[in-house]
Structure formats: structure tokens, C-alpha cells
Structure 1
Amino acid sequence: MKSDVLATPGHLISLAARGFARLSGARLKPLGFGVGYLPALVALKNGRAETQRDLARFVRIEQPSMAQMLVRMEKDGLIRRSPDPADGRSSRIALTDVALARLPDACAALFQGNREALDGFSDEEAAQFVALLDRLIANLDRLGGVGQRASR
């Protein structure tokens, strides 16, 4: 491994993540989505989460950050909350018709951005890159004591 701090995997992945965030933000903003919304919206659509706690766990952010995101998503007309009949302290969260209508375009925009970012990579290289990132994330989770990563 090189001794140049600017050539370390952590630094390069950070640069790539910021680049993806800029690209995604530019493509999602016209659809009324924030960059961080998509994992939560997809989890709600696919039935992987129904509560703030479920979403925070799935998206892997702290509860206060998820609470703030849900306030913004509700204000943007993307989610609605209803009382949880099993737990009076909790709310069930569901997508609105607006979110359901826009979500396919948002996913398509992100897939297109990923294809463009991986321009020049063969299908095999792209698959290997994803597999290597999955392994890296698993190692980081293990080192950081984080639970099992949500499956894609």
C-alpha cells in the first residue's frame, strides 16, 4: 500500500462518495428528492421498514437524523404517518402517491448516473468493484461493531 495519504482507499472512497452525492443530488433535486431520501423511500416501498426505528436501522443512521429526514420528507409530501396500533408511541410511515409516482424516475436517474460513472468498466469489472466494496463495508462494519448491513 502506498504511503501517500491522498492515495489511500479511505480518501479515494470519500472523494468518490462526494462525487456520487453531487451527481445524485443534481439528478434527484428536480424530482423533489434529497440524496439521502432514496434508501428510506425504497425500504418503505419494498416493505423492509414501517417505522422510524426500522428506517434508521435499515439506512444506518442515528434516530435523531432519521427523525429530521422524515420531517423533511413529510414536508415535501413524500411520506405520511399514522399511529401504530401496536405501539402508541410509534407511527407507521408510508409513501404518498407523489413518492410512488416519482420513485421510478429517481431510481432510473441513479442507475443512469452509476452507469455513466462506471464508463469504461466492463460488466465484470463493475461487478467485481461492487463485490469488493461489499467486502470492504463488511470489514468496516466488523471493525466498528456495526450489525449486519442491510441487503440490497
Structure 2
Amino acid sequence: MKPDDRLDNGSLADLYGRPGFLIRRAHQITSALFAEETDDLAITSTQFGMLIALQGGISIDQASLARLLGLDRSTTGLVVTNLEERGFIERKTDPGDRRRRMLTITPAGEAIRAQAETASRRSQARALDVFSEDDAAAFVRLLGHFVDAFNTSIRTPITDA
């Protein structure tokens, strides 16, 4: 079967019109745009999200950070270790509970976060530039509504720390 035949019989056309497929492709596209804009910084969007959550001197434990960003424990552990190895965050023992390690952003982490913020805004602008201003606002509002509607029904909900 040629690719055109699959489109003609509707199987791929049906797939390409499914919300899950479109959301996955949109994620791939926005991730690629972010990677292009931050290429010289060598930072991922997940790392950037963690640095945003820790900016301004916030100190929280790893599990709370995971809940704020809707990440699973293993992903959070890997990303935190990477950020710590690069000198962007520190883990310190919580004086109130010696079993708990608190995460804080370092000056180097704050600097890379600020640089990535500028790059992230460029990637967001590129992603939304395909829409009119009103459509871009509606698109973001609808995505937010979708995420809010299903947030608590998945394994990694976003919750307050």
C-alpha cells in the first residue's frame, strides 16, 4: 500500500485528526522550537521548568518539586541530578528533618534560567505566531482548560507542594 492509498482510505487521515495525535505532534513541535532557541544553553524544557519553580530563593524537597511540575519520581530524580552536577541547583539537608533534602537554585542556575527565559519566550512566540492574537489566546486558554479538566485523573497531577 502506498502512503497516498492510506490517506485515501481514511486511516491516516483519521489518525491525523485525533486529539491525542495532534497534542503529541504539538508537543514535538514546541519541544523542537524550544531546543532550537536554547541550543547554546544545552538546557531542556523540563530542566527549565525546575529552575523556574526554584527561582527567587525557593527551597523545596524533590517530591514537592515533582508535584508542582506534574513529573514522576524517576524523571525528577534524573533531572535534579543533572542540574546538580551542572552546578545549577544544590541539595541540602533540611535542618528540621535530616532525612529530607531541600533543593535550591544556585547563582549559576539563576543565570541560566534568565537566559533560558528569553529563549523560551522566543520559542513561544514562534509557536503562537501561526495564529492571530485572538486565536493564540483562545488556543492557550483551551489547552489550559483541557489540562485542568484532566489534571487530577492522571498518575502525575500537578498539585501544590
TM-score by length of 1: 0.86
| Structure index of larger Rg | 2
- Among 40, 46, 59, which residue is 1:36 paired with? 46
- Residue 80 of structure 2 is aligned to residue 70 of structure 1: yes
Once structures 1 and 2 are overlaid, which stretch shifts more, 22-31 or 106-115? Answer: 22-31
**Partner amino acid, structure 1, of 2:151:** D
Q: Quick one: which amino acid aligns to residue 108 of structure 2?
A: V
The structure showing larger relative contact order (alpha-carbon pairs under 8 Å, at least 6 residues apart) is: 2
Give how far 1:77 is off: 1.3
Q: 1:36-92, CA deviations, whole angstroms, 9 ceiling, x for partnerless residues?
A: 111111011156661101111011111222111111111111101111011111111
Partner of 1:11: 21
Please tell me the root mean square deviation across aligned C-alpha atoms, in Å: 2.1
Contact 1:49-1:58 at 8 Å conserved across structures: no
The 1:47–1:21 alpha-carbon spacing in structure 2 relative to 1, beyond 3 Å, is: same
Cα separation, partners in 2 of 1:120 and 1:6, compared to 1, 3 Å: closer
User: Is contact 2:66-2:73 (8 Å) kept?
Assistant: yes
Alignment partner, residue 126 of structure 2 = 116
One of 119, 126, 138 as aligned partner of 2:136? 126
Q: Following the alignment from structure 2 to structure 1, what is the Cα–Cα distance between the partners of residues 158 and 27?
A: 21
- Assess if the C-alpha contact under 8 Å between 2:67 and 2:158 holds in 1: no
Which position in structure 2 is the counterpart of 1:135? 145
Deviation at 1:142, TM superposition (A): 4.5
Distance, in Å, in 2 between the alignment partners of 1:114 and 1:76 is: 26
Once the two structures are TM-superposed, the CA of residue 14 in structure 1 deviates from its matched residue by 0.4
1:40, 1:55 within 8 Å by CA — same for their partners in 2? Answer: yes
Equivalent-residue separation in structure 2 for 1:149 and 1:132 (angstroms): 20
Structure 1 window deviating more from structure 2 (35-44 vs 120-129): it is 120-129
80-89 vs 116-125, which moves further: 116-125
Shift of 1:98: 0.9
Q: Is the 8 A contact 1:32 1:76 kept in 2?
A: no
Against the structure 1 CA distance between its residues 48 and 127, is the aligned structure 2 distance closer, same or farther, given a 3 Å change threshold? Answer: farther
TM-score between both structures, scaled by the size of structure 2: 0.81
After TM superposition, the structure 1 stretch with the greater mean CA deviation from structure 2, 107-116 or 23-32, is: 23-32
Q: Deviations over 1:94-143 (max 9, x none)?
A: 11111111212201111111111211422221111111001111222244
